[in-house]
Amino acid sequence: MQYDTQKMENGLESLGIHLTDKQLNQFLIFYEKLIEKNKVVNLTAITEFSEVVEKHFLDSLSLIKVVNLKNPLKILDLGTGAGFPGIPLKIAFPELEIVLMDSLNKRVLFLQEVISDLNLHKISALHGRAEEIARKIEYREQFDICVSRAVANLSSLSEYCIPFVRQGGRFISYKSGEIEEEVLQAKKAVHLLGGKILEVEKFQLPGTDIWRSFVCVEKLRKTPKTYPRKAGTPTKDPL
C-alpha cells in the first residue's frame, strides 16, 4: 500500500532526525501491523496514518529534544502499550538498548512479533507489573533512562518508574502541554523516591498545534526499598 510520507519526513527534519529508506519502511510495516492487530486487540484509538505519524511516531521521537539518543543508552519504556515510544526510538536509533514493559500480555505478544518481523536487535518486550518487576535485581536501578507515555498522575508514575533508574540516570515522562499543577504536586513523591525534577520542556508536535511536555527527573539517590508499594497502591494512593 502507498502512503503519503511527506508529513513524516517534514516532522523528522524538524527534529533533526535522518532515516534511511530501510528505517522509513520499518515504520510503514510497524503501522500496518499495528492497524491489523488493532482489529482484535485494543492497542490504539488512533488509526489514520497521518494521525499515527503525528501523535505516535513523531511524539515518540520528540525525546531527542531532551536526550542525546546517539549515545548507546539503556532505556526502559514502562507501560509501553502498543510500543510507544520504544519501537519508534529503536527504529530511528538502532544503538539504543530497549526493554518494553507492559502489564497486558496480549500487547507484549504483539510487540514480540513486531521485534521479530522488523528484525530489531537489543530490544525485548517484558510482561509484568512495575510493582513486581522493580523488586527484581536484574531490573532495579539498571537503566540510564526510564520513559513513559502512560496516562497516569505524575506522582504515581514516578513511583512506578524511578526505582528502575540508576543513580545519575533520568526518568522522563511524556505529558500534555498543561502540566504545572501536576509537577508541583509530584515534587514530594519525586524527592521520596530519590529524584529531583530537573526541567519541564514544552514543545509543539511538528506540523500541528498540539502542545506537549517532557518532565525530566534526575535520580540522585537510591530509591528506598519500600518503593514501589504493593500492586495498585501507587495509583490509588499517590505519595
Q: What residues contact residue 35 under an 8 Å CB cut-off, 6+ apart? A: 47
- Encode pLDDT of 12-62 as tens digits: 999 999 999 999 999 999 999 999 999 999 999 999 999 999 999 999 999
Question: Are the CB atoms for 61 and 85 separated by under 8 Å?
Answer: yes
Confidence of residue 188 (pLDDT cuts 50, 70, 90): very high
Q: Which residue has the cell 531527542?
A: 64
pLDDT at 2: 80
- Encode pLDDT of 69-120 as tens digits: 999 999 999 999 999 999 999 999 999 999 999 999 999 999 999 999 999 9
Percent of the chain with pLDDT over 70: 100
Residue among 148, 144, 107 nearest 125 (CA)? 107
pLDDT at 177: 83
Q: What are the DSSP E strand ranges found in the chain?
A: 74-78, 97-102, 123-127, 143-148, 165-176, 195-204, 211-219
Mean pLDDT of 167-173: 98
Q: Which helix (H) or strand (E) element contains residue 8?
A: helix 6-15
**Is pLDDT of 1 > 80?**
no
Confidence of residue 207 (pLDDT cuts 50, 70, 90): confident
Residue among 100, 79, 104, 90 nearest 57 (CA)? 90
Task: Please tell me the least confidently modeled range out of 1-5, 147-151, 180-184, 200-204.
Answer: 1-5
The pTM (predicted TM-score) of the whole model is 0.96
Residue 175, C-alpha cell as written in the block? 505529558
pLDDT at 34: 97
Instruction: Check the CA dihedral 75-153-42-210 and report its sign.
Output: negative
